[in-house]
């Protein structure tokens, strides 16, 4: 039976099964030290729907040690075309609790903190962001995204901003000193509508996987994080473009900070 309310932040976490990460350890530039960095890391995932659920899935699968999941509300039937952490028997129950249970079953070595709250009603948001190594922004509206962006800029916490609509996807990586979300989208993109937009699950899953990959790169030191670049694509005709993002010196969020290593080259 689906739970009607989420218990206070629940935790799992412990040793991962032997051999769990063998197939990724030999990736060029990865190795045991990178795996250890993942194990010691915390990622805050804001939103565990189609995008954030996919990101959380692959962050847990890669061995990120601690995930803080924030998502309000109950599971509904139309969520199931894309939210692969959810199970039909949980309809009516807390979505973030269902995500936690599914992740815990698959990845017992990962500590999960599940918070069934709106970001705007989370007084401890600044503390949670400051305690994260990376934030994955998979919310669906600009007020939440700006809230996260400002907290990340203030605490110099790297963020991966992931968004989709229909067959389109957007990905922006923000690291200290690089252009932030408010530099790139000063007033919010009207196509990123609050709820009600169309969603093909394969598209949201792809955006979530991209976000997880960037978060893993930032934490582990593997690969080259895409700070300062905005990826926009449309799977309708498989059109991909990478735009160079620019710092806005008058940005109300990051305008007072010095450029840093995340500035595009």
Residues that bind Zn ion (CB under 5 A): 180, 182-183, 251, 253-254
Closer Cβ to Zn ion, 107 or 247, answer by number: 247
Closer Cβ to Zn ion, 57 or 253, answer by number: 253
Using Cβ positions, the residue closest to Zn ion within the complex turns out to be 251
CB of 106 to Zn ion, least distance (A): 37
DSSP lists the bridge partners of residue 199 as 166
Residue with token string 């009603």: 121
Burial bucket for residue 224 (CB in 10 Å: 0-12, 13-18, 19+): exposed
Closer Cβ to Zn ion, 139 or 182, answer by number: 182
CB of 161 to Zn ion, least distance (A): 12
- Which of 50, 45, 57 lies closest to 75, judged by CA? 50
CB of 229 to Zn ion, least distance (A): 15
Closer Cβ to Zn ion, 71 or 182, answer by number: 182
User: How far, in Å, are 15, 119, 125, 223 from residue 45 at the CA level?
Assistant: 22, 11, 12, 21
- 3 state DSSP class of 14: coil
- The alpha helices in the chain, defined as continuous H runs, are 22-25, 32-39, 50-62, 95-106, 125-130, 142-155, 181-184, 201-220
Closer Cβ to Zn ion, 150 or 214, answer by number: 150
- Rounded to the nearest 10 degrees, what angle do helices 201-220 and 50-62 cross at? 40
Closer Cβ to Zn ion, 24 or 149, answer by number: 149
Burial bucket for residue 109 (CB in 10 Å: 0-12, 13-18, 19+): middle
Cα torsion for 46, 211, 88, 105, to the nearest 10°? -90
Q: Backbone phi, then psi, for 199, in 5-degree steps?
A: -140, 125
Neighbouring C-beta atoms of residue 134, cutoff 10 Å:
27
Closer Cβ to Zn ion, 94 or 253, answer by number: 253
Closer Cβ to Zn ion, 34 or 245, answer by number: 245
CB of 230 to Zn ion, least distance (A): 13
Residue with token string 């600009």: 142
């Amino acid at each position: 039976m689906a739970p009607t309310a989420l218990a206070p932040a629940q935790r799992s976490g412990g040793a991962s099964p032997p051999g769990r990460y063998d197939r990724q350890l030999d990736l060029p530039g990865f190795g045991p030290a990178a795996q250890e960095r993942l194990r010691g890391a915390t990622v805050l995932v804001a939103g565990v729907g189609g995008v954030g659920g996919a990101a959380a899935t692959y962050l847990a699968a890669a061995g990120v040690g601690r995930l803080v999941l924030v998502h309000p509300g109950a599971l509904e039937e139309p969520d199931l075309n894309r939210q692969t952490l959810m199970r039909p028997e949980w309809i009516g129950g807390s979505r973030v609790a269902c995500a936690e249970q599914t992740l815990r079953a698959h990845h017992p070595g990962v500590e999960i903190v599940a918070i069934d709250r709106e970001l705007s009603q989370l007084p401890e948001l600044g503390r949670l962001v400051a305690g994260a190594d990376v934030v994955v922004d998979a919310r669906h509206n600009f007020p939440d995204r700006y809230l996260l962006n400002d907290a990340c800029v203030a605490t110099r916490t790297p963020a991966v901003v992931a968004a989709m609509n229909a067959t389109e996807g957007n990905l922006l990586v923000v690291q200290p000193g690089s252009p932030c979300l408010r530099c790139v989208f000063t007033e919010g993109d009207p196509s990123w509508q609050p709820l009600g937009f169309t969603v093909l699950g394969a598209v949201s899953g792809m955006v979530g996987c991209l976000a997880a990959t960037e978060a893993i790169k930032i934490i582990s030191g593997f690969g080259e994080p895409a700070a300062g670049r905005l990826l926009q694509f449309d799977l309708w005709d498989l059109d991909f473009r990478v735009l160079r993002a620019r710092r806005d010196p008058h940005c109300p969020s990051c305008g007072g900070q010095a450029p840093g290593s995340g500035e595009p080259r």
